[in-house]
Amino acid sequence: MNTANHALLEIVSAGVTFTAGFAGRVRTQALSDMTMSVGGPDPSITAVVGESGSGKTTLMRVLLGFQPTTDGTVTFDGRPLERFSRSELRAYRRQVQAVFQEPFDVFNPFYRIEHPLVAPLIAFGLASNRRSALEQVAAAMTAVGLRPAETIGKYPHQLSGGQRQPVMRARAMSLQPTILLADEPVSMVDASLQSTILEPMWKINRARDRTGLCHA
């Protein structure tokens, strides 16, 4: 694990401009001169607040390396993301987990809901077999307030939007990330449930050595 003083994940003067419309004539500056860091020496929570369309989801996609920047740089452990080798990118994909705003996009309708949770646990060597992976998945689901017995085995369309969102949180947490990026994890659920959602995240955050949580 990194012991340097710099933040683990840093974004410096980053900008993203999208072009859309006929002949790319519509230009949208989704992110402009964005500088921030996540994951200092102590566990922390960073909140990014902004009105609809202000670039929160774009920022998260940039931090994940899914969205190239038009300007600026993103570094992890002092190294630019764009220069990562395949194996570094693989390590990055485990250490930095995300909970997306619209979880339905993440689920493949042809796979049962637990598939995107079980597969990475085995792929990253966090579970030695499917049975042990399923046990970890069930524990993570319980931690986010889902009933594993009523969730495992279902297809994405057989759950409500409010049930799919915690499945993503369970996935992110079961991979034991160093940094957890969450895009509006509380927006899709009733206000009374917000504390039960953030509480397990915060517990995990505190339990780890060095965790940044970016809650857009």
Nearer to ligand ATP, 52 or 192 (CB): 52
3-state secondary structure of 13: strand
Whole-number Å distance between alpha carbons of 61 and 57: 6
The residue with tokens 């689920």 is: 107
> Considering only 26-34, 39-47, 82-90, 98-106, which stretch makes contact with Mg ion by CB under 5 A?
98-106
Nearer to ligand ATP, 56 or 169 (CB): 56
Nearest distance, CB of residue 50 and ligand ATP, angstroms: 5
Asked whether the beta carbons of 146 and 179 are under 8 A apart, the reply is no
Among 28, 44, 46, 57, binds Mg ion (CB under 5 A): 57
Name the binder of 37 from Mg ion, ligand ATP, none, CB < 5-8 A by kind.
Answer: none
Nearest distance, CB of residue 110 and Mg ion, angstroms: 26
Nearest distance, CB of residue 183 and Mg ion, angstroms: 6
Burial classification of residue 55, based on how many CB atoms lie within 10 Å of its CB (0-12 exposed, 13-18 middle, 19 or more buried):
buried
Nearest distance, CB of residue 38 and Mg ion, angstroms: 17
Count of alpha carbons within 13 Å of 103, Cβ hemisphere only? 27
The residue with tokens 């996540």 is: 38
Q: Which residues bind Mg ion (CB under 5 A)?
A: 56-57, 101
